[in-house]
Structure formats: C-alpha cells, structure tokens
Amino acid sequence: SDHGNCMMPSWTFRVSSWLAQAGFLARRHETSVGPQALESLQRAYGAVRGSRGAEWLKRRLPGRLLDAGRALGHHWPFVDLSRTRVYPVNHFYPLAGFEVNLRGRQSTGIVDPADFERTRDEIIDALREMRVPGTDRPLCRSIRRREEIFTGPHAEKFADVVAELDRDVEADLRFATQVFEPNPGKPTFGYRGYHAPEAIFLASGPGIRSGRIEDGALRDVMPTLMDLLHLPMAED
C-alpha cells in the first residue's frame, strides 16, 4: 500500500497565521479583509467544493478561473510576497513545508542569498518552541532541511524546511483567528481517518525468504521492486 491509516488529528495548525504572528509573512488587504471575512470565505469555498455541482463547474470553467478559485479558497491572494520572507508550502499530512522567498530564485524573492541559511535557522528554532495545544509535547516530531531528506533532480519539489508534525495536528495554509483550532474535518471527504506514513509491503514467491524487514520506508519500495526484476536504476 502507498500509505497506512490513522485517526483524524484533533487540531489544525494554521501555518500562515503563525508565520504572520512570528514576523515571517505579511498579509495583504489586512485592514479591509479581516479574519472573520476570511473564515466566511473558507466556509463558502468548502461548501462549493463539497457540493454536487463542483464536478460540473470543473468540466465547464476555464482552467485559469479554476486556478484563481483554488488560490482564493486557500487565501493565497492575501499573502504579500513583496514583504514575506517565508511562506508555507502544502505538503501531505503529517508534514508542513516552509519555503524561503529567496531573491534570484523566486520572482518575488526578498531574502538575500547570504541570509538563506540564517532564515532557515530562524524557522527551525521557532518551530522547536511550539507545543501541541494543552500538552507539553513538541509540535514537530522532526524538522529537517530539504537536502537532509532527499537529493537528486527532483528534490526542489520539497520545501526548504519540512516539519513532521505531531500526529494529532494537521497543517492548514489558510488564515484564521487562532493559530490552533479544533479540526472539523474536510467537507469534501466523508471519512474520519487520515493517511499514515507507515504502509504495508508484502511479497511472496520464489527466492523470497520468510521474515520481515524492520525500518523499511516508502521510498524503499521502488528500488526493491526494480532490483527483484533485475532492472537498471534510473538516475532520477
């Protein structure tokens, strides 16, 4: 399987709100569009996505309008990149991504390349101080720089800093009145369980001896299968 299964987390971590409070991210239209208006926008977006007409709209609206609607639903137009040093990146639960708005890499970059590592250190240090609401548990089970997780030609698809959150917390990129809120679930999905990183790998056949492999990871599956099939490993 490509994922395991776990309970739905109790908390939502509003990453953009936290970044704004910590001084990494700047809001646009903050005086005219307050937190309550953004909450209403979020509810409206969720209602549209969860409606029977959502698929009809997807088939008929131009791609640029759909992209604009998704961006608005995720509050992206309310981020002022001209004054933002770090913005959130949407990685799958239980991960939260943080990208440095780097001059020369991003078209709107404002962070000098000489300050790149210092900015990453600031984010990592700030995340280490965070706790799961109502507990003494650290918010993050691990915090890693991108190159500590993956290397190779596609590594840039990960954010500059990737945090694995406590399993009882899910990252949400939209703004809210509070940094942590009870998790209401997703209006577009009826399930109450979430994906978990621990997947299942079973194999049986000639040449496969009985037993189990400890500490296997999802990224081990493809090279294992290619090795069993005697296929050359591609560079990527």
Asked if the model's pLDDT at residue 73 lies above 90, the reply is no
- What is the structure's pLDDT at 214? 81
Q: How many percent of the chain have pLDDT more than 70?
A: 79
Structure tokens at 113: 């390349």
Q: Which helix (H) or strand (E) holds 4?
A: strand 4-7
Task: Determine the Cα–Cα distance for residues 161 and 146; give it in Å rounded to an integer.
Answer: 6
In whole angstroms, what is the distance from residue 94 CA to residue 165 CA? 5
What pLDDT does residue 3 have?
80
**pLDDT tens profile 38-52:** 676 666 656 666 666
Q: What value does the mean pLDDT take over residues 181-199?
A: 76
Residue 64 main-chain phi, psi, to 5 deg: -65, -35
Answer with the residue of higher pLDDT: 128 or 174.
Answer: 128
Res. 208: pLDDT tops 80: yes
